[in-house]
Structure 1
Amino acid sequence: MPENRPLSAEIDTTVAHEARVYDYWLGGKDHYEADRALGDAIAEQIPTVATMARANRAFVGRAVRYLVKEAGIRQFLDIGTGIPTSGNVHEVAQLEDPSVRVVYVDNDPIVLAHARALMTSTPEGATRFVFADLREPDAILSEQAVSETLDLTQPVAVMLVAVLMYFREESEVRRVLSALVDAVPAGSYLTLTHPTADFDPEAVAGVVAAAERSGIAFQPRSRTEVANLFAGMDLVEPGIVPVMAWRPDEPGADAARLHPGIEPDPASAYYWAGMARKR
């Protein structure tokens, strides 16, 4: 996320925003010239970046289904939600159990505008949206929408999908994760994906440079660095793996769907994915 960007409900179309760039790659309609320029600059470095964005989106569905069906989770805190699209967390979760409760958090005013209209819940469950910044986790946790929707004495799934790369400093990542994980009880889960330079250092270096030119901090991390984000927690099998290799519906299914006619290769999406349970 752009460093020192004040949180404002005003939409500044002259500055690229990560949520809108992601929407552009996913084929959405809520993006502007600055967002498209950055999206295209990144695509010059990694032509398959839109495919990688879709791989991240597919991971969300698999992770949520696992959390509801196998881990028994009924509460979600999804931070860095992005612009609503098909397969949002509550849609996937409430198909499995209509009583699931979800709080979404994002700092893009366009996400705010759409969230109020699109993120509806089943009668048995609940869905709320908080306009806030991950850099201030205590402010998120103190929001009335959080306390009214989630019971923090019961397990919660904290979702941080493709968001921690906007923190350049490890100390900042640790601070944010500690605040969030400390706020939820044992039996809660942390789920995240994170871009990496492990598979193509030169291309990802180009992405970092393009993002920095637009005022967006972008910090890829290695597999070891991503694994360290789960320190003190119990990793869910298969551990830290390429995003398309995390519990695929069928072996190679996501890769084959995202790359039709091409031999599936989970490492073709430059993201690590993982999930862990709080002891």
Structure 2
Amino acid sequence: MNLVQEGLALGIPAPGPDAHQRPSAARIHRMWFGTEGALPADEDLARKILSAFPCEPAAAKINRAHHLLITEALAARGISQVLDIGCGDALPRPQSGDGLLFAQNTHDVVQQHSRSASVIYVDIDHDVVARRRSLLDHAPTASRPKAVLADVTDMARLLTRLVADGHLTHDRPVAALLHDVLPWIPDDARVRDALAYLRTWLPPGSALAITHATADFSPTWVERVQDVYGEEGIAFRPLDRQSITSLFGDWGDLYGGPVRTVPTARHQRNHPFATVPDYVSAAYAGVAIKPQ
């Protein structure tokens, strides 16, 4: 079964014949890290985004650095099952420079703590999953990471499938990472239902990590970006702090007390962009732990 057939069996439409002529949020995200391979439509939309919000590349790097720091923190905590939901494209590994930090993959970080850790990448984009699988075919790990095509709003089907395939077990904690994925889902109700199901399903001691775009710090700029994406038919849905915090339910914070929902660059004290103004993050981050 090829990837298109796999998607159709899961209710995910096949890419249309013009898919590679339209801009892709995943490919544009790669552009902010200097990665080649963008199409003319991507480059045109990227120029419009930069005109609306010049800090967009910095915001993407802030989010990526946070992702790696949180992955490290949860792996160090002993969590050895990781779901990278809405994983996006892998970034190529440069030979030197700051790009070395951003080019680390989730499994690179996790398996420094446990070579047998289970890492599952999940995305709805056929091209993203195909590239992930190509990369993972050569991953030198004791427990090879998996890349799964799935609609994350159909959380019950995703989790049932992962257990049935032996990728996840329900007897030990799981880290569910949803970093910069929920803003791209246009249906609020489906997002909330999916997160509620995920929180119920996850075993005690599991972690839920979310970053989510917001207009709280720079409403004019972020609303302009939303309009730019909307003109291309790409859903982009920033939320306010209270709405994002509600996605964690009644779970407590990773470091104790009520869950903290703070500008992404300020969530971890060792974040390399910790001193930048909040409007550069243009997003909130939070990490919560399911009570025992």
TM-score range, shorter chain: 0.7 to 0.9
| Contact kept? 1:9, 1:108, Cα under 8 Å | no
Paired residue for 2:235? 217
CA separation of 1:148 and 1:195: change in aligned 2, threshold 3 A: same
Deviations 1:136-166 (A, max 9, x none): 2223223358732211232101111001112
Paired residue for 2:281? 269
| Contact kept? 1:94, 1:122, Cα under 8 Å | no
RMSD between aligned residues? 2.3
- Give 1:28-47 correspondences, 5 Å limit: 28-47=35-54
| Contact kept? 1:255, 1:266, Cα under 8 Å | no
Paired residue for 1:259? none
191-200 vs 237-246, which moves further: 237-246
Which runs of 5 or more residues in structure 1 are unaligned?
A: 257-262
Shift of 1:126: 3.1
**2:85 pairs with 1:79:** yes
CA separation of 1:114 and 1:146: change in aligned 2, threshold 3 A: farther
Give the AA of the match of 2:217: F
Q: How many positions carry a matched residue from both structures?
A: 266
CA separation of 1:31 and 1:11: change in aligned 2, threshold 3 A: farther
Mapped to 1, the partners of 2:140 and 2:170 lie a distance apart of 21
Paired residue for 1:155? 173
Deviation beyond 6 Å, 4+ runs, structure 1: none
161-170 vs 116-125, which moves further: 116-125
What secondary structure sits across from 1:99 in the alignment? coil
Shift of 1:91: 0.7
Paired residue for 2:108? 91
Mapped to 2, the partners of 1:9 and 1:277 lie a distance apart of 40
Q: 2:67 aligns with which of 60, 76, 82?
A: 60
Mapped to 1, the partners of 2:164 and 2:111 lie a distance apart of 18
Deviations 1:39-79 (A, max 9, x none): 2221111111011101111011100111011x321001111
Paired residue for 1:198? 216
TM (norm. structure 2) is 0.84
**2:117 pairs with 1:117:** no
What secondary structure sits across from 2:165 in the alignment? helix
- Give 1:20-31 correspondences, 5 Å limit: 20-31=27-38
23-32 vs 49-58, which moves further: 23-32
What secondary structure sits across from 2:284 in the alignment? strand
Which runs of 5 or more residues in structure 2 are unaligned?
A: 1-10, 92-102
Q: 2:124 aligns with which of 73, 89, 107?
A: 107
TM (norm. structure 1) is 0.87
| Contact kept? 2:217, 2:278, Cα under 8 Å | no
